[in-house]
Structure 1
Amino acid sequence: MSLLICLVGLLLTSSAVSTPVSDKPTLIRSVPAHAASFKGGVSSTGWIDFNFADGRSILVPAKVNGQSVWVKLIDGDETSYIDKDFAASIGFQPPTATKTFGDVNVQVQLGDLTLRRVKTSTADLGAKRTDPLFAPFILSDDLFNQVVVDIDFAHHRVAFQDPHGAIKLPSGAVEIPLIRYLDARTVPISVEGAAPVPFEWFLGDPAPITVYQPYYETHKLLQNRPTSIRLGGGLNGQRPQEPVATLSRVQFAGVSFNQVPSVFPSNTVRGSDSPLVSGNIGLELLARFRLIVDYPHDRLYAVPNTDTESVPFAKDRLGLYLSKQGSTFVVDFVSPGSPAQTAGFKTGERIAMIDQKAGPAWTQAELTNLRFATKETTIVFTMESGGIRQVKAKDYF
């Protein structure tokens, strides 16, 4: 899946992922990346603690051209991304009509692992140095295609290993077929008890499961079940409206998961171009395993985390998409049939306070998480006009 298409949940911390992008970012450089190198002759970084960013992205401490920052790890794209403002701050001049960045040497260090001349493009990632976790860089396949990645979600740690060495597998590891279809690495997924089909493997999608239009129409997955619409996300403000519904059963790596909130994008916003791919599996479901991925050899091993197998998935129970403008909030979208719609919210309305807190007291991530409140949570909105609206969180799809 193209990272341009699926930057979604990371840029806007929404649960959406597949977003078309018509204006491609400016390429910083096109020279090939050097091979990954490990300091001092070691073959692994050992464990590096990561921040799981509310379960929607993997943030790892790193150095980008010597600057200490957090980087987001997303596989599935040959290009990595750097925030345009951060790029300018470290000496990359913005492009003009006649000049692009050209051959810029972007170097990324992850512990004892160094990646030189990483293929990178600029984008508006919205990263601010005042953010609690300043993450102005998204690192993709210049990393993944050169190493074995061991992701221990239960302990929020990751290790990178030289793929030429032996892989020491943890007890209980099961090998899962990791098969390439054109631009996509896929794994077998069973939906509603049907035979397993290829779903794209994608660490950049926070939604548990995304089902592509040919498959969900053939299997009538949106019939006879509650549905709604969510606002997706992506680069440059492009945010498609996508159907959402809850699947009763999804099976991966021999483990069945119940009541899985899922996204059903149209063909125009889907990820993989292959007609053989039926959807993609996202981070919230993958995080219920320890995953050892040998990307250079297309091998995947999974160990179920028994503590999370039966934990309910995060689910939008509000249906209200907000952004901050100064000290107030603006309603960007209201999901049909949601508690927010029932309470009378409309696109374009302004909110002065949420639970007695004005705009400066909220981060964009906190606004996103507001939608995923537990059942029966009451949220109080003070409208700019002075009115009060109370909304009780509940399932609506």
Structure 2
Amino acid sequence: MPVVAVPFDAYGGAIYVPAVIKGDSVWLMLDTGLSRTGLDRDWARTVGIEPVPASSTAVVDTIRLGELTLANHRVALYPLHGLSEASGRLEVGLVGHDVLQHYAVEIDYRQRRVRLFDAARYHYRGAGTTVRFTADADLPLLRAQVKVRGRRAIPARLLLDTGASGLCLILTTSFAEQHGLGTVAPAIQAPIGTGLVGELHGTIVRLQEVRLGGLTVPSPTTGLGGEYKGFLSRTDIDGVIGNSVFEGTRLIVDYVGRRAIVEPRPVDGSPCDFDMSGLRLAARGPGLAHIMVDYVVPHSPSAEAGIAVGDELLLIDGRGVAAGDLSDARKALRADGEVRQLVLRREADTIRVALKLRRLL
């Protein structure tokens, strides 16, 4: 029997689990790639959680995750405003390795449920594909191979990061440089994600495949680090593998057994896709109510239509995006061959665009 069984919200491709902190009901992102559980420092202050003197941590009386209660738990205080703007949702906090390491964590992407089992007593019986952790890592660092068309497979240490959504993989800058991945084409110069240190820049490509033990993921969308910033500068890992790879499966992260198990194997075809408009959108302003154009991919449908950074997206096919959410807007812009009718605001002007979507990779 699980110690904890809770539903999760898959907003934006991430995993949000319900929690109660100091009597407030909140959603926390489940993040297997994060060392320490943390809260947004501004939100923490509003509920009376003060930092320990001369530190960026705090002690929280109680954090409840379903049936599990964490008492007097030390958390990091993170600046999560940038993540909130990137996701379009107020990011209150994240559940990290310091909590998850005591359990076998089962994530059922189809049923949208997370279950935590006592790791010492957990026994897996099934036909899932097993991928072992590397021997020298506490976090779930998986042995993998990445394959570029026309080249031999390259061994890679990929951090299983359920806090990463969107691209299938993001590879560190040193790994990309060492293996000459900058020559992979076609490629898009664009932001490749947003982390605790802010926006991360690089190049987006499709590799031929990534192999995790007996599991093969074809045509993964992949961010190649283009700067030494945040985890892109790390040398103890070669990259991260995110939620998109496991969508539609049941994923078990067994910390004591030092393995990840995936069942069933993903169906044929790439499980993760990429935007087909050329727009990178972010939520800004009070309540994150304004959906703004943050970046336009050169030579994309949006660039050809004259959409510019700083434009505010008001409507997609007559539906107000501010009344919905950023996740829905992004989904609407991933439909190959469809024509979307966009209405945008540029200063005092209203702009109407018929945008024909197409694959950029």
Determine the C-alpha separation between the residues in 2 that align with 1:386 and 1:105.
48
1:229 aligns with 2:189: yes
Determine the C-alpha separation between the residues in 2 that align with 1:102 and 1:132.
25
C-alpha RMSD over aligned residues: 3.2
Q: Which runs of 4+ in 1 moved over 4 A?
A: 98-103, 131-135, 180-184, 324-329
What secondary structure does 2:220 align onto? strand
C-alpha displacement at 1:183, in angstroms? 7.1
For residues 31-85 of structure 1, the C-alpha deviation after alignment (integer angstroms, 9 at most, x for no partner) is xxxxxxxxxxxx732532222224x211112222333222211123332222345
1:243 aligns with 2:207: no
Alpha-carbon spacing, 1:252–1:94, altered in 2? closer, same or farther (3 Å): closer
Alpha-carbon spacing, 1:170–1:267, altered in 2? closer, same or farther (3 Å): farther
C-alpha displacement at 1:329, in angstroms? 4.4
Question: Which of 34, 46, 70 lines up with 1:77 in the alignment?
Answer: 34
Q: List gaps (5 residues or longer) in structure 2.
A: none
Is 168-177 or 239-248 further displaced after alignment? Answer: 168-177
1:111 aligns with 2:66: yes
Contact 2:249 2:266 in 1 (8 A): no
Is 269-278 or 282-291 further displaced after alignment? Answer: 269-278
C-alpha displacement at 1:381, in angstroms? 2.1
Contact 1:202 1:280 in 2 (8 A): yes
For residues 120-148 of structure 1, the C-alpha deviation after alignment (integer angstroms, 9 at most, x for no partner) is 233454599xx998762211122112222
Is 324-333 or 277-286 further displaced after alignment? Answer: 324-333
1:319 aligns with 2:278: yes
Determine the C-alpha separation between the residues in 2 that align with 1:349 and 1:272.
29
Question: Which of 364, 379, 386 lines up with 2:340 in the alignment?
Answer: 379
For residues 239-269 of structure 1, the C-alpha deviation after alignment (integer angstroms, 9 at most, x for no partner) is 2332101112222231222221110013513
Determine the C-alpha separation between the residues in 2 that align with 1:285 and 1:266.
22
1:91 aligns with 2:48: yes
For residues 155-204 of structure 1, the C-alpha deviation after alignment (integer angstroms, 9 at most, x for no partner) is 22221122222x23131034322015567542121211505332222221
Q: What is the aligned partner in structure 2 of residue 153 from structure 1?
A: 109
C-alpha displacement at 1:94, in angstroms? 8.0
What is the percent sequence identity of the aligned residues?
22
Determine the C-alpha separation between the residues in 1 that align with 2:321 and 2:56.
36
C-alpha displacement at 1:228, in angstroms? 0.6
Alpha-carbon spacing, 1:66–1:369, altered in 2? closer, same or farther (3 Å): same
Contact 1:106 1:120 in 2 (8 A): no
What secondary structure does 2:43 align onto? helix
C-alpha displacement at 1:287, in angstroms? 3.5
Q: List gaps (5 residues or longer) in structure 1.
A: 1-42
What secondary structure does 1:164 align onto? helix
Please tell me the residue identity of whatever aligns with 2:278: G
C-alpha displacement at 1:303, in angstroms? 3.1
Please tell me the residue identity of whatever aligns with 1:340: S
C-alpha displacement at 1:119, in angstroms? 2.2
Determine the C-alpha separation between the residues in 2 that align with 1:348 and 1:303.
41
Alpha-carbon spacing, 1:350–1:158, altered in 2? closer, same or farther (3 Å): closer
The normalised TM-score by structure 2 is: 0.82
Contact 2:3 2:116 in 1 (8 A): yes
Alpha-carbon spacing, 1:226–1:124, altered in 2? closer, same or farther (3 Å): same
Question: Which of 239, 251, 258 lines up with 2:218 in the alignment?
Answer: 258
Contact 1:337 1:396 in 2 (8 A): no
Corresponding pairs, count: 346
Instruction: Pick the structure with more strand per residue.
Output: 2
Contact 2:253 2:259 in 1 (8 A): yes
Contact 2:40 2:80 in 1 (8 A): yes
Q: What is the aligned partner in structure 2 of residue 15 from structure 1?
A: none
Is 307-316 or 375-384 further displaced after alignment? Answer: 307-316
For residues 332-367 of structure 1, the C-alpha deviation after alignment (integer angstroms, 9 at most, x for no partner) is 211123221122222223444333344532323333
Determine the C-alpha separation between the residues in 2 that align with 1:234 and 1:227.
22
1:143 aligns with 2:107: no
Is 202-211 or 190-199 further displaced after alignment? Answer: 190-199
Alpha-carbon spacing, 1:332–1:187, altered in 2? closer, same or farther (3 Å): same
Report 1 or 2 for greater relative contact order, CA contacts < 8 Å, sequence distance ≥ 6.
Answer: 1
What secondary structure does 2:60 align onto? coil
Q: What is the aligned partner in structure 2 of residue 199 from structure 1?
A: 158
C-alpha displacement at 1:208, in angstroms? 1.0
Is 192-201 or 352-361 further displaced after alignment? Answer: 352-361
For residues 285-318 of structure 1, the C-alpha deviation after alignment (integer angstroms, 9 at most, x for no partner) is 13354222232x3511413324645354221111
Is 353-362 or 223-232 further displaced after alignment? Answer: 353-362
Contact 2:129 2:263 in 1 (8 A): no
Determine the C-alpha separation between the residues in 1 that align with 2:153 and 2:100.
31
Q: What is the aligned partner in structure 1 of residue 329 from structure 2?
A: 367
Determine the C-alpha separation between the residues in 2 that align with 1:123 and 1:367.
27
Please tell me the residue identity of whatever aligns with 1:303: V
Contact 2:227 2:233 in 1 (8 A): no
1:162 aligns with 2:121: no
Please tell me the residue identity of whatever aligns with 2:7: D
